[in-house]
Amino acid sequence: MAEHITPRSKNYSDWYIDIVLKAKLADYSPVKGCMVIRPRGYALWERMQRALDDMFKETGHTNAYFPLLIPESFIHKEAEHIEGFSPELAVVTHGGGEELEEPLVLRPTSETIIWSMYKKWIQSYRDLPLLINQWANVLRWEKRTRLFLRTSEFLWQEGHTAHADKEEAQQETLRMLEVYRRFAEDYMAMPVLTGAKSESEKFAGAVTTYSIEAMMQDRKALQAGTSHFLGQNFAKAFEVTFQNTEGNLDHVWATSWGVSTRLVGALIMTHSDDKGLVLPPKLASTEVAIVPIFKNATRDQVMAFAEKVESRLTGRFRTVLDRDEQNSPGWKFAEWEMVGVPVRVEIGPRDMEKDMVVLVRRDTGEKTQVPSDQVAEQVAELLESIQKNLFERALAFREENTRKISNYQDFTGYFEGDGGFVYASWCGSAECEAKVKEDTRATIRVIPFDQPRDPGSCVVCGKPAAQVAVFAKSY
Amino acid sequence: MAEHITPRSKNYSDWYIDIVLKAKLADYSPVKGCMVIRPRGYALWERMQRALDDMFKETGHTNAYFPLLIPESFIHKEAEHIEGFSPELAVVTHGGGEELEEPLVLRPTSETIIWSMYKKWIQSYRDLPLLINQWANVLRWEKRTRLFLRTSEFLWQEGHTAHADKEEAQQETLRMLEVYRRFAEDYMAMPVLTGAKSESEKFAGAVTTYSIEAMMQDRKALQAGTSHFLGQNFAKAFEVTFQNTEGNLDHVWATSWGVSTRLVGALIMTHSDDKGLVLPPKLASTEVAIVPIFKNATRDQVMAFAEKVESRLTGRFRTVLDRDEQNSPGWKFAEWEMVGVPVRVEIGPRDMEKDMVVLVRRDTGEKTQVPSDQVAEQVAELLESIQKNLFERALAFREENTRKISNYQDFTGYFEGDGGFVYASWCGSAECEAKVKEDTRATIRVIPFDQPRDPGSCVVCGKPAAQVAVFAKSY
């Protein structure tokens, strides 16, 4: 029997950790708060990397690598930046057996070290735009950690771009937000809301932070990617100026944007079920598992037939033929379900006699018997259908759990119950935002781009509202 | 005019740094000993990564990720390991504003953290072999650094495998050495010697270290990759045992192997010249640069013709059409030579009239005029020829600068002169090895696999030799 997973209905949090550990995606490490990403989890990250990296390159970005170690004084140069990151820093004080003159922090993000280099590289408008991305590890000392979702060390990409004017930088910020939306929806099959963050939730050092937000199966929001318009904040802190086309000196405009291994956690919590992982085909390292079923008398024949089916699928799909002879078919089915392979092909002696195979889709469990010479076309259709169904199922779930609420009693009541996403009008004050958080633990996830002409009155204080915001409890 | 590069004949070391900085491959960072890998340098590393990663996967390995931070006590568990790495450690003493109970070191290599996890994952022979690779940054506090060749932080891959028996682990060690040899020769066009290291040069914690060694243009050796047979050393240090097929407990056998961003330095020093970078086509991110040459009167026609040529090349080759109109053709030729693009296509008004283009190969400077409708086939042939020629040229250079020497006076004299690689017989004693180093600064680079039946007498002490070794000065 495959290992037992806590059902979602019993304890969602235990269910999540069970999947991560039992599908061998990650493991706890000897260093508190740091995780080990095991091969099966890393393969998901690799597929995400490849797709995102292609999208970054299509939009004109190149990769580079900046040092992990940052002089502590750099972090202090941008006032909001140090305030935001100071409590989370890991500090190197000794190197090569000696105490360092100046302590070095492990990058929590790379704006400061990168802008110290941009100062050297940017002199004229001809050097702009500068469109650089980095794949790297970062460290943020976290008190409460959870595998993939929040760890002291994590892997991510961080784009850092420099522009000659404000509008171009703003466009870049939104372009990359759109790249993230497209990746989340097209590859991860995870519908997301997009919009701006409130002042209290924005990145330390940004003028405006935008994010993509997804609803997990426990109806909480997960911030899955952010794109920041940094204005001239870092250019001013690091004195990065350029000669513009009119021959005058001006400060450079900046953006930064990132997604991390947190996406692996988001993927799990969006689609998986009580049997284990459920993966969208585009990100599954194995798309099809062939499981032959035989007794001693039929072994050779069934295996030969399975190999013929394998040869029809290999090359076109990422296919594995399960050659294990130690475990029962039932155990093997459960294992393939646990690791989330989208399509399972079952082949038994009776199927073979009829020259048929059975296809089982992981998302719904539905079985269909198909002639073996049609297996490739049928698998292709199934994979497409699964990718689509996962997105639609997640979207329907989000819509079922989204409300428009204008009354504060209903608002707090909703979050006392199951909760979900709430569209509500907000006056824009930090006080009302803080009151919501205190009363319900919900926060503003995004202020959507589409706004009504008249947002009505604030759900908290009743004063005229500046906008409609989306509230939710979150990871 | 393109920027000036110090000629190799004047100062080889300045030449190297000039190329790295002026071709914008890397830059110095604000943190001593750490470098910034700029987009053009990183693109080389990315192409290397892709080729190597494919080779690792073909040989059955999967990628994973282990924490950067390692408890200091772990490094002490293997006696030779701590002795070798202790002077190079960077240490984190504070996290989240508090002093840590146990200091954490930044990984100088990951044997210890990985074997602490293998202890959790390996119980039975069924869990073996475990074939894991990691792409990561590592830190070794270096006193004297040089861009790409020796930096305090560098990027690398490290394979860490676990096996049920000694022979299988030894085979794996040699299999990966062969992967490195193949990569160096087939992709980098860099001939390498393979063999074992002497006791004094082996990895701290290994039973045997093997390496690939290349000759740079200053006739010094560069260790370009290592593969270690670790025996049961780390399994014993971390108490990693497994139940073997007979039901008995046994310690696991181990290997580790790695190459790093140092390879970018090796690539530069093997092929480049006084005009700048020379790149083997397989690793060049741009294979062909098209440079149109025109005056105002011919601009539109020449550009249209150049675009037609571009459309014949794009898709098949990584092609760039140089649309710069601010600089002279001569300046642009020099720029494309500086960045090492293997083939340049020059298109002027007179070529256009004859429906011809001029192809210039970067390795020899040779020019040929070809009909424009044959440009794709001609470029394909040229690229193949350049890849081959670079390897053969480097091999011929190594052979010209390799001697068999049996007399110690000739031996020291050779290293007082130009030096190079010397095959000489060695008794196997650490004393003779140390004497060579003191007298000549040369060290044993490898002990080749192919050995004569009778290695004769030691070049230093005259006693019967155990083997022939290759000596050279090195990076």
For every one of its 475 residues, what pLDDT tens digit does chain A have, with 9 covering 90 and above? 456 899 999 999 999 999 999 999 999 999 989 999 999 999 999 999 999 999 999 999 999 999 999 999 999 998 888 888 888 999 999 999 999 999 999 999 999 999 999 999 999 999 999 999 999 999 999 989 999 999 999 999 999 999 999 999 999 999 999 999 999 999 999 999 999 999 999 999 999 999 999 999 999 999 999 999 999 999 999 999 999 999 999 999 999 999 999 999 999 999 999 999 999 999 999 999 999 998 888 899 999 999 999 999 999 999 999 999 989 999 999 999 999 999 999 999 999 999 999 999 999 999 999 999 999 999 999 999 999 999 999 999 999 999 999 999 999 999 999 899 999 999 999 999 999 999 999 999 999 999 999 999 999 999 999 999 999 999 9
Element (H, E) at A36: strand A35-37
List Cβ neighbours of B13 (8 Å cut-off, separation of 6 or more).
none
Rounded CA separation A117/B304 (Å): 39
- Across the interface, whether the CB atoms of A70 and B42 are under 8 A apart is answered no
- Across the interface, whether the CB atoms of A62 and B42 are under 8 A apart is answered yes
* Contacting residues of B for A93, CB less than 8 Å apart: 91-94
Cα radius of gyration (chain B): 25
List Cβ neighbours of B330 (8 Å cut-off, separation of 6 or more).
none
CA angle A440, A441, A446 (to 5 degrees): 105
Rounded CA separation B297/A182 (Å): 46
- Across the interface, whether the CB atoms of A96 and B46 are under 8 A apart is answered no
SS (H, E, C) B159-179: EEEEECCHHHHHHHHHHHHHH
- Across the interface, whether the CB atoms of A95 and B93 are under 8 A apart is answered no
Angle between helices A39-58 and A166-186 in degrees, nearest 10 = 140
If you write DSSP's letter for every residue of A448-470 in order, what string do you get? ES---S---B-TTT-SBPSEEEE
Rounded CA separation B428/B444 (Å): 11
Name the residue among A37, A68, A88 with its Cβ closest to that of B64. A37
Name the residue among B34, B39, B92 with its Cβ closest to that of A90. B92
* Contacting residues of A for B47, CB less than 8 Å apart: none
Report the Cα–Cα distance between both ends of chain A, in Å, rounded: 33
**Token code pair at residue B453:** 């039946």
Rounded CA separation B138/A37 (Å): 17
List Cβ neighbours of B303 (8 Å cut-off, separation of 6 or more).
B292, B294, B323
Q: Which amino acid is at B138?
A: V
- Across the interface, whether the CB atoms of B69 and A31 are under 8 A apart is answered yes
For A286-388, CATH number out of 3.10.105.10, 3.40.50.800, 3.90.1150.10, 3.40.50.360 equals 3.40.50.800
Q: What are the angstrom distances between the C-alpha of B271 and each of B213, B277, B435, B445?
A: 15, 8, 33, 21
pLDDT of residue B1: 42
Rounded CA separation A215/A418 (Å): 13
Rounded CA separation A275/A5 (Å): 7
Task: Tell me if the bond preceding B129 is cis, omega within 30° of 0.
Answer: yes
Partners of residue A472 on adjacent β-strands: A443
If you write DSSP's letter for every residue of A145-162 in order, what string do you get? -BTTTB-SEEEEEEEEEE
Task: Find out whether B68 and B29 touch, Cβ atoms under 8 Å.
Answer: no
Rounded CA separation B25/B44 (Å): 9
* Contacting residues of B for A94, CB less than 8 Å apart: 89-91, 93, 103
**Token code pair at residue B394:** 């480097």
pLDDT of residue A3: 65
- Across the interface, whether the CB atoms of B117 and A69 are under 8 A apart is answered no
Backbone phi, then psi, for A172, in 5-degree steps? -60, -45
Q: Could you count the other beta carbons within 10 Å of the beta carbon of residue B217?
A: 18
Any idea which residue has 């670079």 for tokens? B390
Task: Find out whether B262 and B317 touch, Cβ atoms under 8 Å.
Answer: no
Rounded CA separation B452/B462 (Å): 17
**Token code pair at residue B417:** 């002169």
Partners of residue A344 on adjacent β-strands: A289, A360
* Contacting residues of A for B152, CB less than 8 Å apart: 95
CATH architecture for residues B12-271: 2-Layer Sandwich (3.30)
Residue B139, helix vs strand vs coil:
strand
pLDDT of residue B233: 95
A417 to chain B nearest CA, in Å? 35
**Token code pair at residue B46:** 């990315």
- Across the interface, whether the CB atoms of A63 and B42 are under 8 A apart is answered yes
pTM: 0.96
- Across the interface, whether the CB atoms of B38 and A64 are under 8 A apart is answered yes
Residue of B nearest to A38 (CA): B64
Backbone phi, then psi, for B384, in 5-degree steps? -65, -40
Task: Find out whether A219 and A100 touch, Cβ atoms under 8 Å.
Answer: no
E-strand spans in A261-401?
288-292, 319-321, 343-347, 356-361, 367-371
* Contacting residues of A for B86, CB less than 8 Å apart: 97
Beta strand A193-196 with A208-215 is antiparallel
**Token code pair at residue A358:** 């059975």
**How far, rounded to the nearest angstrom, does the alpha carbon of residue A451 sit from its chain's CA centroid?**
26
Q: Is A195 left (phi over 0), alpha (psi -120 to 50) or beta?
A: left
Rounded CA separation B98/B102 (Å): 12
Backbone phi, then psi, for A347, in 5-degree steps? -130, 110
**Token code pair at residue B178:** 């062969």
pLDDT of residue B3: 65
Q: What is the largest CA-CA distance in chain B?
A: 86
Rounded CA separation A324/A332 (Å): 8
Residue of B nearest to A53 (CA): B46
Name the residue among A46, A87, A88 with its Cβ closest to that of B63. A46
Domain boundaries along the sequence of chain A: 12-271, 286-388, 402-472
Element (H, E) at B113: helix B111-121
**Token code pair at residue B71:** 């408890």
- Across the interface, whether the CB atoms of B104 and A31 are under 8 A apart is answered yes
pLDDT of residue B24: 97
For B403-472, CATH number out of 3.30.110.30, 3.20.20.140, 3.30.70.270, 3.40.50.720 equals 3.30.110.30
Name the residue among B117, B141, B142 with its Cβ closest to that of A27. B117
**Token code pair at residue A195:** 């919009």
CA angle B135, B140, B142 (to 5 degrees): 135
* Assigned fold of B281-397: Rossmann fold (3.40.50)
Q: Could you count the other beta carbons within 10 Å of the beta carbon of residue B315?
A: 9
Element (H, E) at A365: none
Task: Find out whether A342 and A287 touch, Cβ atoms under 8 Å.
Answer: yes
E-strand spans in A218-366?
221-231, 241-243, 249-251, 253-260, 288-292, 319-321, 343-347, 356-361
Residue of B nearest to A96 (CA): B88
pLDDT of residue B32: 87
Q: What is the largest CA-CA distance in chain A?
A: 86
For A402-472, CATH number out of 3.30.365.10, 3.30.110.30, 3.30.413.10, 3.90.180.10 equals 3.30.110.30
* Contacting residues of A for B76, CB less than 8 Å apart: none
Report which DSSP code applies to B23. T
**Token code pair at residue B145:** 């650094």
Rounded CA separation A273/A271 (Å): 7
Sequence length of chain A is: 475
- Across the interface, whether the CB atoms of B65 and A104 are under 8 A apart is answered no
Cα-based torsion angle of the residue sequence A416, A419, A422, A426 in order, rounded to the nearest 10 degrees: 30
* Contacting residues of A for B65, CB less than 8 Å apart: 36-37, 42, 45, 155
* Contacting residues of B for A85, CB less than 8 Å apart: none
For every one of its 475 residues, what pLDDT tens digit does chain B have, with 9 covering 90 and above? 456 899 999 999 999 999 999 999 999 999 989 999 999 999 999 999 999 999 999 999 999 999 999 999 999 998 888 888 888 999 999 999 999 999 999 999 999 999 999 999 999 999 999 999 999 999 999 989 999 999 999 999 999 999 999 999 999 999 999 999 999 999 999 999 999 999 999 999 999 999 999 999 999 999 999 999 999 999 999 999 999 999 999 999 999 999 999 999 999 999 999 999 999 999 999 999 999 998 888 899 999 999 999 999 999 999 999 999 989 999 999 999 999 999 999 999 999 999 999 999 999 999 999 999 999 999 999 999 999 999 999 999 999 999 999 999 999 999 999 899 999 999 999 999 999 999 999 999 999 999 999 999 999 999 999 999 999 999 9
